[in-house]
A and B are shown apart, each in its own frame.
Chain A
Amino acid sequence: MAKRSAPEVNAGSMADIAFLLLIFFLVTTTIETDSGINRKLPPMEEIEDPPIIKQKNIFSVVVNKNNQLLVEEELTDIDDLRRLAVEFLDNGGGEGEEACDFCLGARDPKSSDNPDKAIISLKNDRETSYKVYIAVQNELVAAYNVLRDREFLRLFPNERMNFVDANKKYTDPRTSPEEKERLKPKLDEVKLMFPQKLSEAEPSKTN
C-alpha cells in the first residue's frame, strides 16, 4: 500500500478573501476630514455712508470678558440664545411692503420687521474665551438652521429631508451633478428667505 498524506489545503481562494476584506475596509472607512463653522469676513474697505438700520431690526449679542452673555442688553444663559434668536428672526412684525408672509413669530412691532431686515450683531471682548465664542456662533448658526429647516420642509416636502441634510448632500462630492443642479435652486430659495446676516463688530478694548 502506498503511503498517503493528507492533500494540501487549497489556498487559491485566500486572495479572494483578502480582497473582500480590503474592499470592505475601503468602503467603510472614511478619511477623517476637518469640519467646522464656515464664516465669511467682511471686506476691508469702508462703506461710504452706511445704511441706517432701525434699532428694532438689530439683535445684539455681546460676550464680555468674563464670558457672560448679554442678549439685547440683558444677561442671558446660553441655553436660551437659540430660542431668542429664532424668535427675533421669525418675528415678522413688518407691515405692508415689509410684511413677512411665512413668518410664524409673535409679530411684535418692537422686534424685527422680516428675516431679510433682521441683523444679528455679535460683539466680543478681547478677553473672551474662544470656546465660548464658538458656542455662541454655533447657537446663532443653529437658529438660522432651525428656520431654514422648517421652510425647506414646508416648501419641498417631496425631498424628505431638511435644509441641513440637503445642504450636506449638495456639498458632498459623491452627489451627482444632476442632483446638485436640482437641489441648488431649492437651497438658494430657502437661503434667500432667511439670509444669514450676522455682523461682527470690531472688538472692544478691555477696560
Chain B
Amino acid sequence: MSKFKKKKGGDLPAISTASLPDIVFMLLFFFMVATVMRDSTLMVKNQLPVADQIQKLDKKDRVMYIYAGAPSSRYVDKYGALPRIQLNDKFATVSEVGAFVLAERASKREELQNVLTTALKVDGETKMGLITDIKQELRKVNALKINYTTRVGAYSQNID
C-alpha cells in the first residue's frame, strides 16, 4: 500500500545550524591552545642563530628572557643601530641586567628561585662583546644557568 510511497521532492530542508556553536568553540579552543603569548614586544631584531644540538627550555615560569640585538628599524632613529639589550619592554644597559635578574628572581615562587634559567635571545649578527658583558653580569648575581635560544637547523647555516 502506501508504506513505500515515493517521497515527493518538496522544499529543501533548512540545514540545521545547531552545530555552529560547536564549530566555533572548537576553533576557539584550537587557537587558545596553539597561540603562544608573547609577554613583551620585541624592539630589537631577533634573527636567532641556528643549532641542532639543542635541548628544550624549561617550563615558562622558570625562565627569564634577555633579548639583545640591533634596534628594529622604527627605533633606529632614536637609539641608533648598535646592538642593545632589551629587558621586558625597554632598552637597557649592561649594568641593569643584574638588577633585572634579581627583580625577576624575587617575583618567582620561592621553590623556583634556585632553578631559574636565563634564556638569551640574541640576534645572530650581534658581536660577542655584548654577550660576554651580559654573561659577566649574570655571574655577578649568580644566575649561572643560561640557555642560548636558537632555531633548529644545521650549524652551517650560521656561516656565510
Asked whether B93 is an interface residue with its Cβ less than 8 Å from the other chain, the reply is no
* 16 cross-chain CB contacts under 8 A: A21-B26, A25-B26, A38-B145, A39-B147, A44-B140, A78-B156, A126-B128, A126-B132, A127-B129, A129-B124, A131-B49, A134-B155, A135-B158, A138-B155, A145-B53, A167-B55
| Set of chain A residues within 8 Å of B79, measured between Cβ atoms | none
From B30-38, B99-107, B108-116, the one touching the partner chain is B30-38
Give the B interface residue count (CB, 8 A): 63
* Distance, CA A203 to CA B156, complexed state (A): 24
| Set of chain B residues within 8 Å of A8, measured between Cβ atoms | 13-14, 16
B55-A131 in contact (CB<8A): no
Q: Which of B19, B34, B63, B128 contacts A11 (CB under 8 A)?
A: B19
| Set of chain A residues within 8 Å of B10, measured between Cβ atoms | 3-6
* Distance, CA A122 to CA B152, complexed state (A): 23
Q: Which of B12, B52, B119, B142 contacts A138 (CB under 8 A)?
A: B52
A residues near B (Cβ < 8 Å) are 3-9, 11, 14-15, 17-19, 21-22, 25-26, 29, 31-44, 67, 78-79, 124-135, 137-139, 141-142, 145, 167-168, 171, 173, 203
| Set of chain B residues within 8 Å of A14, measured between Cβ atoms | 16, 18-19, 22
0/1 interface trace, chain B 142-160, chain A, CB 8 Å (1 if under): 1111111110100110110
Query: How many pairs, one residue from A and one from B, have CB atoms within 8 Å of each other in the complex?
Result: 192
Tell me whether A35 and B152 are in contact in the complex, defined as CB-CB below 8 angstroms, given that A4-B8, A14-B18 are known contacts: yes
- Of all chain B residues, the one with the shortest Cβ separation from A5 is B10
Q: Which of A7, A38, A134, A137 contacts B55 (CB under 8 A)?
A: A38
* Distance, CA A167 to CA B76, complexed state (A): 43
| Set of chain B residues within 8 Å of A11, measured between Cβ atoms | 16, 18-19
Q: Which of B26, B59, B127 contacts A18 (CB under 8 A)?
A: B26
- Of all chain B residues, the one with the shortest Cβ separation from A142 is B53
Asked whether B82 is an interface residue with its Cβ less than 8 Å from the other chain, the reply is no
4 additional A-B pairs beyond A14-B18, A14-B19, beta carbons within 8 Å, are: A9-B13, A18-B19, A26-B29, A34-B149
A5-B144 in contact (CB<8A): no
* Distance, CA A32 to CA B128, complexed state (A): 27
Nearest chain A CB to B126's CB is how many angstroms away?
A: 5
| Set of chain B residues within 8 Å of A139, measured between Cβ atoms | 155
| Set of chain B residues within 8 Å of A4, measured between Cβ atoms | 7-8, 10
Tell me whether A36 and B29 are in contact in the complex, defined as CB-CB below 8 angstroms, given that A11-B19, A203-B129 are known contacts: no
Asked whether B92 is an interface residue with its Cβ less than 8 Å from the other chain, the reply is no
| Set of chain A residues within 8 Å of B19, measured between Cβ atoms | 11, 14-15, 17-18
Asked whether B62 is an interface residue with its Cβ less than 8 Å from the other chain, the reply is no
| Set of chain A residues within 8 Å of B59, measured between Cβ atoms | 173
* Distance, CA A4 to CA B8, complexed state (A): 7
Tell me whether A39 and B148 are in contact in the complex, defined as CB-CB below 8 angstroms, given that A11-B19, A78-B159, A203-B129 are known contacts: yes
* Distance, CA A25 to CA B31, complexed state (A): 10
* Distance, CA A19 to CA B150, complexed state (A): 36
Tell me whether A33 and B57 are in contact in the complex, defined as CB-CB below 8 angstroms, given that A139-B155, A203-B129 are known contacts: yes
| Set of chain A residues within 8 Å of B34, measured between Cβ atoms | 25, 29, 31
